Amino acid sequence: MATLWAVSDLHVSVAGNEAVLDRLQPQSADDWLLVAGDVAERQTDILSTLALLARRYRQVVWSPGNHELFSVGKDEATGRKKYDALVRGCRELGVLTPEDPYANFHGVRVVPLFTLYDYSLRPTATSLDQAMESAKRKGVMLSDEMFIAPYVDIRGWCWERLSYSVNRVGRLSEPCVLMNHWPLEPALLEVLGAPEMSLWCGTKHTRGWAERYHAQAVVYGHLHTPGVRTIAGVPHYEVSLGYPKQWRDTLEARSWPAPVLEVGHGA
């Protein structure tokens, strides 16, 4: 058997999370691992974790989350330059990124996406300023506003990434597995405790991608509410580890890492 495993939101710089990496072990020499973002904030932590995983699995595939894009230290690149530096670091490790050709896992193309968010997931007839104001009043504000927004035009980058991704994924003729840190389907945000959080949770422009691009499965994270939800016949796997208070009592009982595809030898 060869299995395509998936995780996200390892947050290895949070006390207690690094030890969980011991659980990420292949069951066969042909197993792959998808890492759907939020490994850590600092470049050295992100790349050393991916290096560790790349030594264990036949192939590791990574998509960035918002935490990878944080500008947190004077010695770190910021904004787009930080993403470019991480892609270069991944290439040195043999880890695939959204900038590489889509690899073939037993006939299925593995597609790491990086589509970011554009604040479009807000109540209709509400301007972005109004939505931000309302979120602020309710005390809902992601750290992204401090650690990403000052360094890059997030909406402009998101729209560029959408165009880049559609151009590439639209050319695929085989079935695929899509991986993105942010959920592709707005309906998946119903699990959020505070609806204002949706502002930072993706874009309305990826709605329907799984069906349109013949995905066998979608892998995502970000919400820290792991589980599988099926939309239009396609399973969407939320594969986050999250923070210790979120996983401590539940990790043993759940299927983590998540086995997204399994194939027999010769398949």
Q: What is the closest distance, in whole angstroms, from the C-beta atom of residue 266 to Fe ion in the complex?
A: 38
The 10 Å CB-count burial string (b at 16+, else e) for 100-133 is eebeebeebbbbbbbbbbbbbbbeeeeeeeebbe
Compare residues 105 and 182 and give the one whose CB is closer to Fe ion.
Answer: 182
Q: Cα–Cα distance between 30 and 128 in angstroms, integer? A: 46
Compare residues 102 and 200 and give the one whose CB is closer to Fe ion.
Answer: 200
Q: Taken in order 196, 200, 201, 203, is the CA torsion positive or negative?
A: positive
31 lines the binding site for Fe ion (CB under 5 A): no
State the alpha helices, DSSP H only, in 16-151: 43-56, 79-93, 128-137, 144-147
Q: What is the closest distance, in whole angstroms, from the C-beta atom of residue 233 to Fe ion in the complex?
A: 28
Compare residues 5 and 200 and give the one whose CB is closer to Fe ion.
Answer: 200
Site for Fe ion (CB under 5 A): how many residues? 2
Selected from 2, 4, 5, 9, the binder of Fe ion by CB under 5 A is 9
Largest CA distance in the chain: 57
CB neighbour class for 34 (10 Å; exposed up to 12, middle 13-18, buried from 19)? buried
Stretch that binds Fe ion, among 30-38, 95-103, 140-148, 244-252 (CB under 5 A): 30-38
Q: What is the closest distance, in whole angstroms, from the C-beta atom of residue 236 to Fe ion in the complex?
A: 17
Report phi then psi at 34, rounded to 5. -95, 135
**DSSP, res 102:** P
Q: What is the rounded radius of gyration, in angstroms, for the C-alpha atoms of the chain?
A: 18
Stretch that binds Fe ion, among 31-39, 53-61, 196-204, 211-219 (CB under 5 A): 31-39
Compare residues 21 and 172 and give the one whose CB is closer to Fe ion.
Answer: 21
Compare residues 11 and 161 and give the one whose CB is closer to Fe ion.
Answer: 11
Q: What is the closest distance, in whole angstroms, from the C-beta atom of residue 142 to Fe ion in the complex?
A: 10
Q: Closest Cα to residue 228, out of 166, 176, 185?
A: 185
**Site map (CB under 5 A) of Fe ion, residues 36-75, x = contact:** --x-------------------------------------
**Which residues of this protein are in contact with Fe ion, per CB under 5 A?**
9, 38
